[in-house]
Amino acid sequence: MGLVALSLVFLQWNDLNGYLFHHLLYLDNKAVYFKILILVTFLFVLLHVQIIRPDLPAEFYSILMAVVLGLCLMTMSVNGLSIYLSIELVSIGSYLMATLGRSKKSGEGGLKYLLFGALSSAVMLYGLSFLYGMTGTLDLTNDVFASQLAQNPPSIVQVVGFLTLAGVLFKLSLVPFHIWAPDVYEGAATPVVAFLSTAPKVAALLVLMRLLSVFSLDFQPVMAVVALVSILAGNLSALWQTDLKRLLAYSGIAQAGFVLVGLVAFNQTGFESAVFYITVYILMNLAAFLLIDLIGEGATDLNSFAGKGTSHPLLSICFTIIMVALVGLPPTVGFTAKLLVFSALWEANQSAGDGLLIALLVVGLLNAIVSLFYYFKVPFYLFFRTNAQNFSLFRSFLGETVVVLLTLVVILLFLKTNWLIDWIRVL
């Protein structure tokens, strides 16, 4: 079914673009590209489940498909009403998936996810009500929306805009809507976490791009502060983690901040760099969570990975390369992604001369160095720590093949960046 859906979405590329359901949805190449990313993630998670065979109930698959449907609707939503309803469809399914584990931690994480999700949803709805009162419409593509919004004081637009973006920032796990992430990552089954840490962020990014395109440049400082605080909070919190899933949760907050750096530039180059970043982040994150299952064999504490570099040499090398990519070092595409978003930010600063953009640039670059200390814990434990326990040598030819292919793609896109960036530029 996933392959059929992916094939049908590919057929929509360069098809007749247009509105659907009275301007609630809009189909364009951006929506098609992001739907492709979502469906690829969906297929990979199904493959992850097939490889690991976790203890998940049969309802998982129906819930997963409902969430994928909501994500595809998010990519086409250009009206405040359709945006809100599609986010709610995704959220309800996500809450259910987060609680499918058998442990007490999964229930705790799911409850926190629900509470913070309900809060962000309420705040977003409150912001949308203000937008409707200020503009008389929720259609983002209507010229009246932008013109009426521009007649309001910039400070009012910033406050209302931030309230409206609450649901989107929640999906991206950006500060201050990030509290749920570590507990959900730790408690949920790894394939579920692999999906929740990637696919919702893809759809949320396009919604955020569409919303920011109708807000004025006065909204730039708000986004810059959110990106700055997210990068700092995510990286500094990740430094103290000993559980690998919680470590990746906090690093995901920081990575979302780096994605937002591209959008803060408020130019075409920045939007393209953000799309490039989220695309390669999907590859790296999916590979990382599959490697946790293949090497950790159910355990996620860093100590359980000690000494496994000798028993799983190929997978450990791949894990090291993926960690290097998440840091943003060559010869991986992670380096290219960070280079592009910071180049876009520098270009924006050259034209605006804003001190806040300079601060974001400096802090972002310094935090890329800080991330070395926690990402490199993984290869350190794999190759330089010893463990007296006997390892059960779990082997999965399919799993190893998938990981190796993802790792090769991460390296190949560094060498052939134009393969992806040229595709993004025609969106």
Determine contact, residues 27/76, Cβ cutoff 8 Å.
yes
Statement to judge: residues 126 and 270 lie in one domain: no
Which of the four pLDDT bands, split at 50, 70 and 90, describes residue 283? very high
Q: In which element (H, E) is residue 374 found?
A: helix 355-375
Residue 208 maps to a domain: no
**Domain co-membership, 193 together with 222:** no
Decide: 197 and 252 in contact? Cβ < 8 Å: yes
Over residues 95-115, mean pLDDT: 82
As a whole number, mean pLDDT of residues 152-174 equals: 87
Does the structure show a pLDDT above 90 at 309? Answer: no
Cα–Cα dist 86/75, whole Å: 9
Domain match, 133 and 236 both: no
- Range 71-90 average pLDDT: 90
User: What are the backbone dihedrals phi and psi of residue 212, each rounded to the nearest 5 degrees, phi first?
Assistant: -65, -30
The mean pLDDT value for 203-225 works out to 85
Would you say residue 313 has pLDDT above 80? yes
Q: Answer whether residue 207 is part of any domain.
A: no
In this model, does residue 393 exceed pLDDT 60?
no
pLDDT tens, position by position, 321-344: 999 999 988 889 989 999 999 888
Q: Is 139 strand, coil or helix?
A: strand
Q: Is the pLDDT of residue 113 over 90?
A: no
Provide the 10 A C-beta neighbour count for residue 268: 10
> Of the segments 5-19, 130-144, 247-261, 392-406, which one has the largest average pLDDT value?
247-261
Task: Tell me, yes or no, whether 210 lies in a domain.
Answer: no
Closest Cα partner for 342 from 221, 257, 420?
257
pLDDT over 60 (residue 391): no
Determine the Cα–Cα distance for residues 427 and 122; give it in Å rounded to an integer. Answer: 32
Question: Which among 167, 199, 231 is the end of a domain?
Answer: 199
263 and 358 part of one domain: yes
Q: φ and ψ at 95, to 5 degrees?
A: -60, -40
Predicted confidence (pLDDT) per residue in 11-24, tens digit: 777 776 777 888 88
* Residue-level pLDDT at 282: 93
Same domain? 74 vs 185: yes
* Residue 206 domain-assigned (yes or no): no
- Summarised one tens digit per residue, pLDDT across range 10-57 is 777 777 677 788 888 888 888 889 999 999 999 999 998 888 887 778
Does 319 fall in a domain?
yes
Tell me: pLDDT of 408 over 90. yes
Q: What is the structure's pLDDT at 8?
A: 78
**pTM given for the model:** 0.91
DSSP, residue by residue, 28-43:
-HHHHHHHHHHHHHHH
Where residue 250 falls among pLDDT bands split at 50, 70, 90?
A: very high
Residue 77 pairs in a beta bridge with 25
Please tell me the least confidently modeled range out of 248-252, 327-331, 345-349: 345-349
Residue 388: pLDDT over 60: no
Q: How far apart are the first and last CA of the chain?
A: 26
Span 266-289, average pLDDT: 90
Structure tokens at 426: 């025609």
pLDDT of residue 87: 92
* Pair 247, 378: CB distance under 8 Å: no
Q: Are residues 407 and 290 in the same domain?
A: yes
- Give residue 389's pLDDT: 59
- Are residue 192 and residue 233 in the same domain, yes or no? no
What pLDDT sits at residue 286? 92
Count of structural domains within the chain: 2
- Are residues 225 and 192 both part of a single domain? no
Whether residue 118 sits in one domain with residue 62: yes
Q: What is the pLDDT of residue 284?
A: 92
Cis peptide before 176 (omega within 30 of 0): yes
DSSP assignment of 161-216: HHHHTHHHHHHTT-TTS-TTHHHHHHHS-HHHHHHHTTHHHHHHHHHHHHHHHHS-
For residue 205, is it within any domain? no
Residue 155 carries which side chain, given as an amino acid letter? S
Task: Please tell me whether residues 160 and 253 are part of one structural domain.
Answer: no
* Last residue within a domain, chosen from 199, 231, 249: 199
Using CA atoms, how far apart are residues 95 and 111, in angstroms rounded to an integer? Answer: 8
Torsion sign across C-alpha atoms 205, 50, 380, 406: negative
Range of the domain at 127: 1-199
Contacts 24+ apart (CB under 8 A), 26-29: 26/76, 26/78, 26/141, 27/76, 28/427, 29/426, 29/427
pLDDT, mean over the chain? 85
* pLDDT of 352: 67
Assess whether pLDDT exceeds 80 at residue 423. Answer: yes
Residue 37 sits in the same domain as residue 113: yes
Q: Tell me the β-bridge partners of 146.
A: none
Q: What is the DSSP letter of 153?
A: -
Task: Kindly state whether residues 52 and 127 are assigned to the same domain.
Answer: yes
Q: Is residue 372 part of a domain?
A: yes
Residues forming a β-bridge with 79: 139
In this prediction, residues 212-237 reach a mean pLDDT of: 85
Q: Compute the average pLDDT of residues 167-176.
A: 88
Q: How confident is the model at residue 267 (pLDDT cuts 50, 70, 90)?
A: confident
- Distance between CA atoms of 11 and 51, rounded to whole angstroms? 30
151 falls within a domain: yes
